[in-house]
Structure 1
Amino acid sequence: MRTSQTFSISFIIRKKKKQPESAILYARITVNGKSLEISLKRTIPIDKWNPVASKLTGNSSESRLINKKIDETKAQLYKTHDSLVKEGLLVTTQTVKARFLGSDQQHYTLIYLIHYHKEKMGKVLKYGTMKNYTTTENYLKDFLKAQYNTSDIYLKQIDYQFTLGFESFLRGLPRLQNNGVMKHMERFKKLMRLAEDLDWIEKNPTKRFKLRFDQVDMVYLSKAELQKIKEKEFKRSTHNINRDIFVFCCYTGLPYGDVKELKKKHIQIGVDGNKWIYTRRIKTNTMLRIPLLEEAERILEKYQDHPKVCSSDILLPVYSNQKTNQYLREITKAVKINKELSFHAARHTFATTVTLANGVPIETVSKLLGHTKLSTTQIYARVIDSKISSDMDSLRIKLNNKN
């Protein structure tokens, strides 16, 4: 970790091979012990060079012009260094040289890329997705400050070592688990891929980085647990309302954002003459066509006279995501279900307990959930397989006991 920076300028000469009495003048810049030379494209007589003073001796017009060039170059290099520091850019010998020669004008920075992405994708991606990108942006800024003592960096300076360093930095944060780290690395890779597509970088340094997500246990309700929640009557109306909306999603597979935006126009008569939900997933814009099961239709009828429903176009009085999950924790505690339920568990319950476990083909379940790939739905099928395996183990024990 770097907390301070050293910067110095000196001038040297290098003899010309074909003219040993003459030399080329160079400015040598040194940043944190690393040096780089810039040719000033001036030929000077070796016998007049004073290496201690870094000047030409004498008072000839040639000496005065060369010494003036040295002073101007030195002043310009210090000014270049100061401007990079002021802009919050990473100061290296390469960035100082590029800025001094004026060749850095076409090189973009990481923060500029982030702002470009925010400007172009802000109206395309969902609010929650952009919020996650902002969190990744803040972590990148923290990493730049901690590791490089700067607030920005040229894209051409980001290499594979930087990528691994950012991952290591994220893993050092106490509040992030592996999948959280991988999500931020995934967004960083997408940003660098955008830079590659825009031809802002020649080579994508994150291309070789492999995302490694841990398999997460899927939380869903069994048939008995779902029944317990359905039958329980709570003293607080907020708990009853929240429970009903959760159960509604257990029988429709809708995630939180989609049920919150569900409106009266989304209920239509399907090809079978029954009520269907016709809507689009907020996350993927995929078309959803979901026949209403009796349990779900009963809940809609229950709340059709609710003040919030009557005074607007919504179908259900959905609370905020934070409140919804808070009430769910209180509900599961009240019915003594030892599972950490979030609202998304309703979608998992629909896929497993309500549909697949009752013989609905996986292709149909995939369409009901709005999945674009069958492989996404097959995760739920594996859960069902594990349940079957568990049930068969119990059966074997019972049979062995009888024998």
Structure 2
Amino acid sequence: MQQRRSTFSVLFYIKRKKLLKNGDAPVYMRVTVDGRFLEASLKRGVNPKSWNEKKQRSTGRDRLSLELNDYIADTLAKLLKIHQRFTDEKKIINPKTILEEWARKAEKPKMLCEVFKEENLKYRQRLAIGDLVLNTVLRNERAERYLGEFIRKKFNTPDMPFSAIDNAFVRDFHLFLRVDKKQEQNTANKYCKILKRIVTLALDNKWMDVNPFQGIRFQAKATTRQFLTEKELSTIMNKTFTLERLNVVRDIFVFCALTGLSFSDVEGLKPEHVSVDGEGNYWIHKARQKTKNICSIPYLESARAIAEKYKEHPLCEKRGVLLPVISNQRMNSYLGEIAGICGIDKPLTMHIARHSFACLALANGVSMEIIARMLGHSDIRTTKIYAKVIDKSIAEQMSALASKFGSQK
């Protein structure tokens, strides 16, 4: 006797009276076999105004609506396939057995912000073992926060599956950074580069199929690296401030201008990084926090004198370091005060100290290769940027000179 084929249907609908916190209606499905049915949530939401009950789909054209419709179609296909297999294998067919099999095989899609947060937690762990510097970790966490703000504003949802991320999403995020967060072009590019790293992880793990960065090339804006002239540096060095905190910050800035160390490197500078060669010359040998490349820097007497001043400073004794470095943000804030007092019309920051070291060394005949070694650059092309800065400065000064004397006959 031939086995009677069971009747089977699936209905997708929304619950308008049980709205989610963001105002969306939860999407459900009802699986019916031989008149008996069970309901299950798709764990998705949709704007009630966009739901078409007849078509059992969203009428919205935004990415989330399209992703929902694709998910509904995929779910229906899987349920039909399960029913057909159960029929072929003569298994017990009822709503419960079908939904249990669907739930067993269904995988929760990987979500962008969720994975981003997990990766940043790993970055925090790497920071604890000295594998990363704090600024890198903070930049990644800022990118995560901005991305979350963008998704909530643009899509009215706290997170999005990787499958919903496309080319327009990336471009819109870049625009959000420029307009809403008022980020400079190059800074916005950096945040998008961080997002690209998360997307690459998703592509490698097959969480998404299409690379949303395909064909996107964000143009970098040319910037001029500021540096201090010898006269400006001397003005700062010889100035005595009434506030002790400004004297301390000035000393640390000058130390960096005399050694080329970055903020993160001077912050972690310890006595063991200092050595004396056979001829009595002092050196700083230290792996850069950013690249792990070894810096080999002559430790000038003027720089040593600064460190000697803080030998018994409580902060230095507590941390076992040479200088009482405070946070980069506070340092830069105080440097702004110092620039104003000294009459220097430049945005004085800790990074300008490193630029000044490189430019002044070039101007005084130190070779590019030696400067690259002192700065710990992996590629001399990075060091050549400072040569362009020097050339531009010379050209500007000669242009000013020409305007004064060029018109004489």
Residue identity over aligned pairs, in percent, reads 32
Q: Does the CA-based 8 Å contact 2:270-2:321 persist in structure 1?
A: yes
Q: CA deviation at 1:212?
A: 2.0
For residues 307 and 80 of structure 1, what CA distance do their matches in structure 2 show? 61
For residues 161 and 30 of structure 1, what CA distance do their matches in structure 2 show? 29
- For 1:359, the equivalent position in structure 2 comes to 365
Which amino acid in the other structure matches residue 186 of structure 1?
A: K
Q: Does the CA-based 8 Å contact 1:98-1:104 persist in structure 2?
A: no
For residues 299 and 192 of structure 1, what CA distance do their matches in structure 2 show? 46
Mean alpha-carbon deviation: is it higher for 342-351 or for 235-244?
Answer: 235-244
Pick aligned residue for 1:164 from 171, 180, 186 = 171
Any residues of structure 2 matched to 1:368-387 within 5 Å, and which?
A: 368-387=374-393
Of structures 1 and 2, the larger Rg is shown by 1
Structure 1, unaligned runs of 5 or more: 1-23, 32-37, 41-63
For residues 334 and 121 of structure 1, what CA distance do their matches in structure 2 show? 39
Spell out, residue by residue over 1:221-250, the C-alpha distance to the aligned partner (whole angstroms, 9 max, x if none).
111111111111111222112111111100
SS at match of 1:390: helix
Mean alpha-carbon deviation: is it higher for 140-149 or for 222-231?
Answer: 140-149
- For 1:115, the equivalent position in structure 2 comes to 117
- For 1:94, the equivalent position in structure 2 comes to 70
Q: CA deviation at 1:310?
A: 4.8
For residues 174 and 119 of structure 1, what CA distance do their matches in structure 2 show? 24
Distance change >3 Å, CA 381–CA 271, structure 1 → 2: farther
Pick aligned residue for 2:41 from 80, 96, 99 = 80
SS at match of 1:84: strand
Q: CA deviation at 1:400?
A: 4.1
Spell out, residue by residue over 1:286-319, the C-alpha distance to the aligned partner (whole angstroms, 9 max, x if none).
2111111232122123333444445652111222
For residues 342 and 282 of structure 2, what CA distance do their matches in structure 1 show? 32
Q: Does the CA-based 8 Å contact 1:133-1:187 persist in structure 2?
A: yes
Spell out, residue by residue over 1:106-150, the C-alpha distance to the aligned partner (whole angstroms, 9 max, x if none).
642213321342344433343332222222222222222222222
For this pair of structures, how many residues does the alignment match? 339
Tell me the TM-score normalized by structure 2. 0.74
Pick aligned residue for 1:263 from 243, 250, 270 = 270
Which amino acid in the other structure matches residue 388 of structure 1?
A: I
Q: CA deviation at 1:104?
A: 4.5
SS at match of 1:329: helix
Spell out, residue by residue over 1:361-402, the C-alpha distance to the aligned partner (whole angstroms, 9 max, x if none).
111111111111111111111011112223433554566467
- For 1:293, the equivalent position in structure 2 comes to 300
SS at match of 1:166: helix
Distance change >3 Å, CA 309–CA 156, structure 1 → 2: closer
For the aligned residue pairs, the C-alpha RMSD in angstroms reads 2.9
Which amino acid in the other structure matches residue 95 of structure 1?
A: Y
- For 1:46, the equivalent position in structure 2 comes to none
Distance change >3 Å, CA 150–CA 268, structure 1 → 2: same
For residues 136 and 251 of structure 2, what CA distance do their matches in structure 1 show? 28
Distance change >3 Å, CA 398–CA 271, structure 1 → 2: farther
| 2:398 is equivalent to residue 392 of structure 1 | yes
Tell me the TM-score normalized by structure 1. 0.75
